[in-house]
Amino acid sequence: MTVRVMLISPATTAALREARFEGDVPLDAAGLRRAGAAASAVPRADTVLSGPSARCRETAQALGLRAEPAESADALGDWDLGRWRGRTLDEVSASEPESVAAWLSDPSAAPHGGESLLALCARVGAWLESLPETAGRVLAVVEPAVCRAATVRALGLPPETFWRLDVAPLTMTELTGRLGRWNLRCGRELTGDPA
């Protein structure tokens, strides 16, 4: 049986527009409106999950989803960027240029004291591979970093590819497969128009 994993990135927040390493920030009014308008475009799923952040939970709710409490909530959590959380990329780049350079060029680096890119990809990949062949259609509202990490792992891409993948708000990344062999459909925008 083929497993279909549909990863929806949450709606926007002010922190996203500021290029801020978010933390647990709720949606702003514009994000809530956009998510509500996209509710009719959400596909049917056998299992619905949400990342643990306020942004993911609020997006799921605005999309009309009743996300189950996930045993895998830690696996679906955002990238742990340690002490950089809450700061903008410009602030961190100005105060720690060598650390930012290492973080962007070495997938094993974690100068912020949080999780390395390799660790993020391994965590998300382990969740993806743990899905049983009978899972059917799994829909999860997760942070863009989780969508990117899942894509890197599912397709066996070099970790550095992570930096070249863009995941826009309220888009769906779809992975289908079984037995560790995955195919990708990316970037489907969720709009009020049925697809």
> Mean pLDDT in each 10-residue stretch from start to end of the chain (195 residues)?
93 79 84 94 94 93 84 84 91 95 96 96 94 94 96 95 94 88 84 53
User: pTM value?
Assistant: 0.92
> What pLDDT is recorded for position 195?
42
Contact (CB, 8 A) for 175 and 154: yes
Please give the domain boundaries of the chain with CATH numbers for all domains: 3-189 (3.40.50.1240)
Beta partners for 184?
175
Contact (CB, 8 A) for 119 and 144: no
Q: For residue 50, what are the contacts with CB-CB under 8 A and spacing of at least 6?
A: 56, 57, 59, 60, 65, 67, 70, 76, 140, 141, 142
Nearest to 170 by CA among 2, 1, 8, 3: 8
